[in-house]
Amino acid sequence: MNKDEIIEWLLGCDDDALFERSAQIRHQTVGDKVYLRGLIELSNICSKDCLYCGIRKSNSEVERYALSKEQIMSAVDLAAELRFGSVVLQSGEQTSPSFVDFIDNILRTISSKYGESLGITISIGEQSEGVYRRWRSAGAHRYLLRMESSSDELYAKIHPAGYILSERLDALKLLKKLGYQVGSGVMIGLPYQTIEDLADDLIAMRKLDIDMCGMGPYIEHSAAPLSKIETAYTPEERVKLTLRMIALLRIEMPTINIAATTATETLDINGRVKSIAAGANVMMPNLTPLDMRQKYCLYNGKTSTNLEIENYNIEYGERGDSLHYKG
Ligand code: SAH
Ligand code: SF4
């Protein structure tokens, strides 16, 4: 699809035809399976100050936490017991040697306990090449790092000075080179964002040749500076655009794994089911201990329910690697 065609679909020229086509492609490629990843939010301590995020360093109202090794391992054990095929370890960005060692240790512990039967995804922001290498050899299979937006200008507007999109894109290329299955994604409905930007985002993900994608609506956090700037999109429009983005990405990149995100469910109670119907094939039920979960608050009203899903085959006990990944 060229950019003009993508824009037409994003504008909602024919949603029925779009979702029919994405469902058909999904059925023929990744099939109707839905894979589960247990999401564990390791810590809300973050050294960065992204203007949209509730746990940004400058938000002094946040009570900070870091899960202990025991807490993390019981959440991992729960994922294994529930026969989820994978875990996702996500955290605020930290780069201290002690943090890097801690993650290394966790990865080794999970790998030695579960071997290759449990997929391990990490999402811990931008790190040095050495750190990415270490964590890969300690057992991480996949890395999630959203580009947030493929527009240099928009990226600059939603981040403090000095945060540069090309560095994030370089990190994604590096992760790919190091043999990770690489996931990326964007926020949808940001202030200043245009439909053209979203079309460019899809083209950028195609160009990066990602293996996995997690994208969802932008949601204001009242303590984050970006919430003072109004976005042009209502919450309903953000959900609609998210579903169209998922469908278009499924059509453009048929074999990748696409997650139904919590942010979509936060704005629409049926958001996850609708995302799956649009072409997503991964769900990430939250396994963070409840009292900590509330403190990992990236945006207002974050939900964290687990839901039953009909008509799709939930693949218990399967890692569900991206079919797009070639090692
Ligand atoms: N610190 C890591 C991982 C945790 S943040 C990182 O930034 O990569 C994970 C994702 O949450 C971010 O990539 C961003 O896309 C999303 N996020 C943060 N604030 C958000 C908000 N207000 N609305 C929607 N998504 C948000
Ligand atoms: Fe930190 Fe990630 Fe939030 Fe940015 S988006 S402030 S890196 S947790």
| Contacts of residue 191, Cβ cutoff 8 Å, sequence gap at least 6 | 157, 158, 226, 229, 230, 231, 232
User: How confident is residue 312, by pLDDT bands cut at 50, 70 and 90?
Assistant: low
Atom from ligand 1 closest to the CA of residue 186: 15
Q: Which atom of ligand 1 sits closest to the CA of residue 224?
A: 22
- 310: CA distance to ligand 2 center in Å? 34
Is ligand 2 within 6 A of the CB of residue 92? yes
Q: Please give the share of the chain, as a percent, with pLDDT higher than 70.
A: 97
Which residue from 62, 93, 147 has its CB within 8 A of the most atoms of ligand 2, so it is best to mutate? 93
* Nearest CA, atom 3, ligand 2: 53
Token code pair at residue 281: 């094939």
Tell me what pLDDT residue 315 has.
Answer: 81
Residue 309 pLDDT exceeds 50: no
Ligand 2 mean position, distance from CA 18 (Å):
33
144 lines ligand 2 (CB under 6 A): no
Atom of ligand 2 nearest to the CA of 47: 1
Whether 298 lines ligand 1, by a CB cut-off of 6 Å, is: yes
Atom number, ligand 2, closest to the C-alpha of residue 49: 6
pLDDT interval class at 307 (50, 70, 90): very low
Residue nearest to atom 8 of ligand 2 (CA): 92
Using alpha carbons, select from 190, 303, 184 the residue that is nearest to residue 238.
Answer: 190
Give me the mean pLDDT over the 267-287 stretch: 95
Q: Is the beta carbon of 226 within 6 A of some atom in ligand 2?
A: no
Across 221-237, average pLDDT: 97
- The DSSP-derived string for 85-152 is SEEEEEE-----HHHHHHHHHHHHHHHHHHGGGSEEEEE-----HHHHHHHHHTT--EEE---B-S-H
**Ligand 1 pocket residue status of 51, Cβ below 6 Å:** no
Cα dist from 126 to 69, 131, 133, 209, 268, whole Å: 22, 10, 13, 19, 30
pLDDT value at 306 more than 60: no
pLDDT at residue 308 in the model? 40
Structure tokens at 158: 């939603």
Find out whether the beta carbon of 93 lies less than 6 Å from any atom of ligand 2: yes
Average pLDDT over the chain, rounded to whole?
95
Integer-rounded Cα Rg, in Å, for the chain is: 18
pLDDT tens sequence across 36-59? 999 999 999 999 999 999 999 999
Predicted confidence at residue 311, as pLDDT, reads 54
pLDDT grade, residue 303 (50/70/90)? low
